[in-house]
Structure 1
């Protein structure tokens, strides 16, 4: 089995949209315009490809964006810098095989050299104990709850401290930035002309 975790491409979008909207009630549905927003704006948008087939994806955004998700806005109001996992979807054929942990390791690797906190939420209605346990064993702790008015569902807001960030900040981010190597690079994405590309370590109010 050949597994690749890579940045999304435009050619992946139809398959990503279909996978998202087949995921059931644990993942909010998307339309093409919403997915295009993520393609253009998300700081982290990677897919898992197994033997040439799209097996899953994860989308995450940093602070300072114009994303109107109530959960993203909650973290924006409570933390100055973070990477927020908006969604992770694994195709049915590849679930329960550790692909979620691989994605979380990868997004953690992305986040810990840029921000001190990794954030996400899980639905409590209906509650999925496997999902709750997964996040707990991966080091997330509940930092709040809120009810999503549009969905009328309670969510648990989770955060994980990234202790490596302080070392990276003091060693590199405050002294010229991260080394110029491929695994530390930002993804290539389309941005509106009035939104500059953000570099590691920058904060936006």
Structure 2
């Protein structure tokens, strides 16, 4: 099977929404308006395409994103610079083949030339030990816990230090910036800064 990790396209959104809402208790259900808001505002929004079929996706944001998730706000309150993984979904038929690790390697390659931390959360209610173990093996450590609202589930807030960042900051970011090459380019966000706020 041919695998491609690529930036999301507008015509992918229906398939992404269906995957999101079929993912189970570990992923919050969303709607087309909220997904469109993420499409317009996310700094990283990539899909895995397997032989023409959307097999999964990962969405991540930086601190200046127009986004009102309580977990995203927690990281905004505690850290100046980071990439926050909002959600990752892999279709059931493609699980168990390492696609999650491929996504995390890809988002880390985006993050480590821009920020010192990669962040995310995992649900503790209900707790999924496989998800907790997965993040631990990738080097994430718990930096806090909170409940998502008065009646929401408890989450573990995770962060991973990116050891390449000091090298990049010293040699590039403190000077003229990253080289102007396609693999370092930012994702084009269709309505950058113009979309209405949508609550997660």
Per the shorter chain, which TM-score range?
over 0.9
Deviations 1:14-64 (A, max 9, x none): 000000000011100111110011110000000000111100000000012
For residues 67-86 of structure 1, the aligned pairs below 5 Å read: 67-86=67-86
C-alpha distance in structure 1 between counterparts of 2:15 and 2:100, whole Å: 18
Using a 3 Å threshold, how does the CA distance of structure 1 residues 187 and 124 change in structure 2: closer, same or farther?
Answer: same
Matched residue, 1:136: 136
Measured on the aligned residues, the alpha-carbon RMSD in Å equals 1.3
Q: 5+ residue gaps in structure 2?
A: 196-200
Match for residue 178 of structure 2?
178
- Tell me the TM-score normalised to structure 1 length: 0.92
Q: State the Cα distance separating 1:66 from its structure 2 match.
A: 2.5
Quick one: distance in 1 between partners of 2:21 and 2:89?
10
Q: How far apart are the structure 1 equivalents of 2:174 and 2:111?
A: 16
Quote the residue 2:93 is aligned against.
93
Aligned to 1:198: none
Pairwise CA distance, 1:193: 6.1
Shift of 1:180: 1.1
TM-score (norm 2): 0.95
1:65 CA drift (Å): 2.2
Could you say which residue in structure 2 is the equivalent of 1:110?
110
Q: Taking structure 1 as reference, are residues 192 and 98 closer, same or farther at Cα in structure 2, changes over 3 Å only? A: closer
Query: Could you say what secondary structure the match of 1:25 adopts?
Result: coil
Partner of 2:189: 189
Per the alignment, residue 17 of structure 2 pairs with 17
Unaligned runs of 5+ in 1: 196-205
Which residue matches 2:158? 158
